[in-house]
Structure 1
């Protein structure tokens, strides 16, 4: 299916996370899409074992159910000392951001090796079960001993980006986009998305 045969001006971000949707609204602004969040109350079962599998599941489901092109991100924090946890279960690690942070810091008590990385898998899909693009971006860093900063969401206050000396929560949105996992993933997606739009 070509973009011309669908509502290519509208793109649905396959997420119910307001912070994540806001990031993609900023990313997509130069491309002049009408960006929508997925319909309120829409629940999608994430049963993939990798970020890429979950992103594909979400993008295809939202595209099919809304009739619009859908962009899904599945991302999470992988901590080396915890065998890659919480990984694909990052958003389900506890009930809310504060509890997730507290649980992770508790799990790392007394552990000096605190290297970790954030991974973001993006999938762009069209209705009728068609995947257009898939990419993945990674940002490496360490888990701090205490939360720092009041920007961002999720694990941002305890993830210090490698060689930056700042957590995501201490960065401006521009800084986070430049070095963050979603920003890196989108930088891979953007030129391909532009080509699709130009070929409509």
Structure 2
């Protein structure tokens, strides 16, 4: 494949995905802002497949999409697929999550990332999922990253995502795990014109 559309209008996400696909010899391009896809799936995998498929069909190009979020055990998996809509800003989302957790000692959770690649006709060629387990802190730590990164603590690294150097986060994060599972499969389809 010579071109791969990234099913997002967010240049930051394009930059992050580009870091994982450095070995892939193709041009990565954002989807047009005017092409909106409603996320009606009930899982991260369903939403990633939906976005990849619909953008691929609309543009007639191979497309990659991801859907990711934070699932907190004590909140029965919330915010889950609604992670980005849990508030208007990162600060509001973090404050709401911490308020809902309150003083509970049960603070385990996981970041989940699902990735799907669709062929030009919209059929799904590949998909993968990555999970990073951790704990939710009672207050933010660190200044890197975005979203819930300042309160998501990874015990084996003794840091939040917002404290980790980018190269460490890329490797251990849910997105890093999903791409690690996807890349060996990707080489099989990347030679398709």
Q: What does 1:137-176 correspond to in 2, within 5 Å?
A: 137-176=130-169
Q: Deviations over 1:72-125 (max 9, x none)?
A: 101110000101000011111111211111111111121111000011111000
* Partners of 1:19 and 1:153 within 8 A in 2: no
Alignment partner of 1:126 is 2:147 = no
Q: What does 1:81-100 correspond to in 2, within 5 Å?
A: 81-100=74-93
Alignment partner of 1:194 is 2:187 = yes
How far apart, CA to CA, are the structure 2 residues paired with 1:173 and 1:71? 22
- Name the SS of the counterpart of 2:88 in structure 1: coil
Q: TM-score, normalised by structure 1?
A: 0.92
Aligned match of 1:5: none
Structure 2: 5+ residue runs without aligned partners? none
* Partners of 1:19 and 1:152 within 8 A in 2: no
Aligned match of 2:22: 29
How far apart, CA to CA, are the structure 2 residues paired with 1:78 and 1:151? 21
* Partners of 1:73 and 1:120 within 8 A in 2: yes
Alignment partner of 1:13 is 2:6 = yes
Aligned match of 1:110: 103
Structure 1: 5+ residue runs without aligned partners? 1-7
- Name the SS of the counterpart of 2:22 in structure 1: helix
Equivalenced residue count is 193
Q: Deviations over 1:29-63 (max 9, x none)?
A: 22122111221232111111111100110000111
How far apart, CA to CA, are the structure 1 residues paired with 2:15 and 2:188? 24
CA RMSD of aligned residues (A): 1.3
How far apart, CA to CA, are the structure 1 residues paired with 2:163 and 2:6? 25
* Partners of 1:123 and 1:134 within 8 A in 2: yes
Q: Deviations over 1:110-163 (max 9, x none)?
A: 111100001111100012121100111100000111111111111111101131
